[in-house]
Amino acid sequence: MKNIKIIHILLLLVFITSCNDDEAPIYVPDELEESTDLIDVYFKDNFLEPYGTAVRWRWDDKLVDNSKRVTPIKREFCIPMGNFIKNFWIAPFEKTEDGKSFIYELFPPEVMLIGSPMYNSDGESITLGYADAGVRITFTQVNEYDLGNPDWVLMQLRTAEHEFGHIVHQNYNLPNGLKEVTPANYKSNNWLNLAGDVQQSNPRISREAISLGMVSNYGTSDVNEDFCELLSIYITSEVAEFEERYLTHEPEEIIKLDDGTEIEPNADAVEVNKGRDFIAIKLKLVKDYYWEKFKIDLDVLRDEIVFRLKNPNNPNGDKSDK
């Protein structure tokens, strides 16, 4: 038994020595075979290589909250959605060198595509998309892809711009002074209780929200959502449309027409006009922030985006073709 123990010890010493040998074999992991699937090749060429962005289109339930019920994206909508993201979201920024640098630096490392709506636990609202700590942006309702449907186009683009706004403030903070404009007017989850008409792309926008100094009901939830809603709605709206709804004061007293007819003002006109003044202050702060930090003129960006919204089948957004 003693001899056997000695042999075991010698074998152990040999093993330890061999592990420290400079000529010991090094583990080399197997090379993963690159996918030749046309969809994977498309996303590699158009997103992974230029921006370092992985587009998740294959179903992975680990990337979706277990409390949500969603449907995967259909194959036939993958490449069209990729083109939509390029032409409506990325390309307007890349019209300038500073915009190119902005997109290259902040474009999310991951984009996830989901086919169906994503209903929240309240049973009333749906998540149009979300940004995860500046890493991933998720699009929903992609199986409804239709460039001929302005509601769908605007919903998806506003989702992109809203969630991208979160990535911007997560990296660079909010514009200086924005938190101080309407600090007492945020409603947290009570934003769901605000009444309001449903606008194009389905945001709920009430006069109460405007009177609080926000451009949508959801914007009243907190200052981060306020920033992202203001940004996304402003750069996707025509000038006259935005000004009429959010900036221009309405009459606060009775108006008498030449024929003697009297027009009564809205009962909440004074409060709504005060809210519009708050929105104007915030808008200037956001515009100055984008120009001073990134040399991006939001008015120029808006004009480019609105042109593309009016010409959804012009993939290059070439105004000379108008």
Residue 130's pLDDT is what? Answer: 59
The more confidently predicted of residues 254 and 29 is 254
Lowest mean pLDDT among 103-112, 118-127, 253-262, 300-309: 118-127
Paired tokens of 319: 């105004």
Residue 230's pLDDT is what? Answer: 97
How many Å apart are CA 216 and CA 87, to the nearest integer?
26
- Region 29-37 average pLDDT: 67
How many Å apart are CA 297 and CA 302, to the nearest integer?
9
Res. 314 pLDDT band, cuts 50 70 90: confident
Contacts with 299 (C-beta within 8 Å, 6 or more apart), sequence order: 287
CB 223 within 8 A of CB 174: yes
Paired tokens of 57: 């289109």
Mean pLDDT for the chain? Answer: 84
The more confidently predicted of residues 175 and 7 is 175
Residue 283 has pLDDT above 80, yes or no: yes
Lowest mean pLDDT among 196-210, 259-273, 301-315: 196-210
Residue 2's pLDDT is what? Answer: 42
Express each pLDDT in 238-269 by its tens digit: 999 999 999 999 888 888 777 777 788 788 89
User: What pTM, to 2 d.p., does this model score?
Assistant: 0.82
Residue 199's pLDDT is what? Answer: 54
Residue 4's pLDDT is what? Answer: 45
How many Å apart are CA 109 and CA 101, to the nearest integer?
15
Residue 316 has pLDDT above 70, yes or no: no
How many Å apart are CA 196 and CA 207, to the nearest integer?
7
**HEC per residue, 94-153:** CCCHHHHHHHHHHCCCEEEEECCCEECCCCCCEECEEEECCCEEEECCHHHCCCCCHHHH
| DSSP bridge pairs for 56 | 112
Highest averaged pLDDT of the listed ranges 59-68, 149-158, 285-294:
285-294
- Region 12-37 average pLDDT: 54
Burial class (CB in 10 A: 0-12, 13-18, 19+), 156: buried
Count of beta carbons in the 10 Å neighbourhood of residue 42: 16
The more confidently predicted of residues 46 and 319 is 46
Residue 115 has pLDDT above 50, yes or no: yes
Helices (H), the chain: 2-19, 38-43, 49-51, 78-84, 91-93, 97-106, 150-172, 207-211, 223-234, 239-242, 269-294, 298-310
How many Å apart are CA 59 and CA 250, to the nearest integer?
50
Lowest mean pLDDT among 25-34, 80-89, 109-118, 253-262: 25-34
- Region 32-40 average pLDDT: 82
Residue 321's pLDDT is what? Answer: 42
Express each pLDDT in 119-166 by its tens digit: 766 655 666 665 565 678 889 999 999 999 998 999 999 989 999 999
Residue 32 has pLDDT above 70, yes or no: no
Lowest mean pLDDT among 9-23, 50-64, 219-233, 290-304: 9-23
The more confidently predicted of residues 9 and 286 is 286
Supply φ then ψ for residue 194, to 5 degrees: -75, 135
